[in-house]
């Protein structure tokens, strides 16, 4: 693909789908990708504007100059640790294809644990009122609305750019009329009388000292505002716990995504308020602590 990597023999060979995938896989592996083959296929499918599965039935197709140029640019950026989801502009979450940009965190399978727990708890309520703090891409709110047709959701974020992405996703999945998107810091944009059956959040929970140790694609490209949780990673969580009582109904539930090392401390923080039944921790599919759940007394 790159001019300095081609020998005379290589240049004589056509750049087919299969050859580009193989070359890109090797190139990205050298540059630290944990999933170089998958990255190569997703990027080439994007460059060709085709489903990824179609690559396998067109393995011997020769790429035209326009597709090769597009692919070359994508591979260059990926080799510099730019996330694939930002390069192609979308990511799958809870069965939905969602728009993403560098203004929002990339939705991750771990966060589906929170959605699943929320859907389970809300299933018995006829018209659940749900507040999401720090909606980002809107992945949680949109997935919830798509699976709970009777739910009414308020989704808050401090970033107007993130809210633009969230609105775009809600519109694309036909749930925008059931989600009110508000700009502001946590509870600030809410009416003081607003009450909810569920308050949910995937807040920033990375400790400051750990930010530098994150993978380069996260550390250098995803928004730090949505990652950094202060000295111990709990600054925003403490703020939520201090203010949530005004807006969570008795018998309502608080659900917080947490870091895998925070499973022991969260029940203690929640218990300290005296306003909740004993909190429980839900593990993700990798059996790591992922969601703290507490019912308001």
For residues 23 and 292, give the distance between their C-alpha atoms in angstroms, rounded to a whole number: 44
Binding-site residue set? 134-138, 157, 202-205
For residues 19 and 37, give the distance between their C-alpha atoms in angstroms, rounded to a whole number: 12
Cβ-contact 147, 93 below 8 angstroms: no
Neighbouring residues of 24: CB distance < 8 A, sequence distance ≥ 6: 1, 36, 39, 40, 43, 44, 71, 75
DSSP 8-state assignment for residue 10: H
* Pair 208, 254 in one domain: yes
The predicted pLDDT at position 11 comes to 59
The predicted pLDDT at position 70 comes to 96
What is the CA 296 to chain-centroid distance, rounded? 27
Burial of 212 (0-12, 13-18, 19+ CB in 10 A): exposed
Backbone angles phi, psi at 21, to 5 degrees: -60, -45
* Pair 193, 53 in one domain: no
Helix (H) or strand (E) holding 247: none
For residues 196-210, one letter each, b for 16 or more C-beta atoms within 10 angstroms of the residue's C-beta and e for the rest, the string is bbbbbbbbbbbbeeb
Binding-site residue set for substrate? 202-205
For residues 198 and 255, give the distance between their C-alpha atoms in angstroms, rounded to a whole number: 8
For residue 10, is it within any domain? no
* Pair 54, 113 in one domain: no
* Pair 290, 149 in one domain: yes
> Computed from CA positions of residues 128, 129, 133, 137, in that sequence, does the dihedral angle turn out positive or negative?
positive
Q: Nearest 5 degrees, angle CA 157-CA 162-CA 165?
A: 125
* Pair 73, 108 in one domain: no
For residues 231 and 289, give the distance between their C-alpha atoms in angstroms, rounded to a whole number: 20
pLDDT in tens, the chain (297 residues): 554 444 434 557 899 999 999 999 999 999 999 999 999 999 999 999 999 999 999 989 999 999 999 999 999 999 999 999 999 999 999 999 999 999 999 999 999 999 999 999 999 899 999 999 999 999 999 999 999 999 999 999 999 999 999 999 999 999 999 999 999 999 999 999 999 999 999 999 999 999 999 999 999 999 999 999 999 999 999 999 999 999 999 999 999 999 999 999 999 999 998 899 999 999 999 999 999 999 999
* Pair 73, 176 in one domain: no
* Pair 107, 69 in one domain: no
The pTM score is: 0.91
The predicted pLDDT at position 273 comes to 86
For residue 92, is it within any domain? no
**CATH code, domain with 35:** 1.10.8.10
Domain containing 67 equals 17-80
Residue 224 zone, left/alpha/beta (φ > 0; ψ -120 to 50; rest): alpha
* Pair 47, 129 in one domain: no
The predicted pLDDT at position 5 comes to 47
Binding-site residue set for S-adenosyl-L-methionine? 134-138, 157, 202
Neighbouring residues of 168: CB distance < 8 A, sequence distance ≥ 6: 99
The predicted pLDDT at position 135 comes to 98
The predicted pLDDT at position 3 comes to 45
């Amino acid at each position: 693909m790159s001019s300095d990597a081609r020998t005379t023999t290589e240049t004589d060979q056509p750049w087919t789908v299969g050859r580009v995938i193989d070359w890109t896989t090797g190139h990205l592996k050298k540059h630290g990708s944990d999933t170089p083959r998958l990255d190569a296929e997703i990027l080439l499918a994007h460059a060709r504007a085709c489903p990824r599965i179609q690559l396998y039935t067109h393995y011997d197709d020769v790429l035209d100059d326009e597709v090769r140029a597009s692919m070359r640019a994508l591979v260059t950026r990926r080799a510099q640790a730019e996330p694939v989801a930002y390069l192609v502009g979308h990511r799958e979450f809870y069965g939905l294809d969602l728009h993403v940009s560098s203004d929002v965190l990339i939705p991750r399978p771990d966060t589906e644990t929170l959605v699943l727990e929320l859907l389970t708890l809300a299933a018995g309520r006829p018209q659940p009122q749900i507040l999401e703090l720090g909606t980002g891409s809107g992945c949680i709110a949109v997935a919830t609305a798509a699976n709970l047709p009777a739910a009414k959701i308020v989704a808050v974020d401090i970033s107007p750019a993130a809210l633009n992405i969230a609105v775009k996703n809600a519109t694309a999945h036909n749930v925008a009329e059931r989600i009110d998107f508000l700009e502001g810091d946590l509870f600030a944009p809410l009416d003081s009388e607003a009450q909810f059956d569920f308050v949910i959040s995937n807040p920033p929970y990375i400790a400051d000292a750990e930010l530098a140790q994150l993978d380069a694609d996260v550390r250098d490209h995803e928004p730090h505002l949505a990652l950094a949780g202060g000295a111990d990673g709990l600054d925003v969580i403490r703020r939520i716990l201090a203010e949530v009582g005004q807006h969570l109904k008795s018998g309502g539930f608080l659900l917080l995504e947490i870091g895998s090392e925070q499973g022991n401390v969260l029940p203690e923080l929640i218990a300290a308020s005296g306003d909740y039944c004993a909190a429980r921790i839900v593990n993700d599919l990798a059996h790591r602590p992922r969601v703290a759940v507490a019912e308001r007394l």
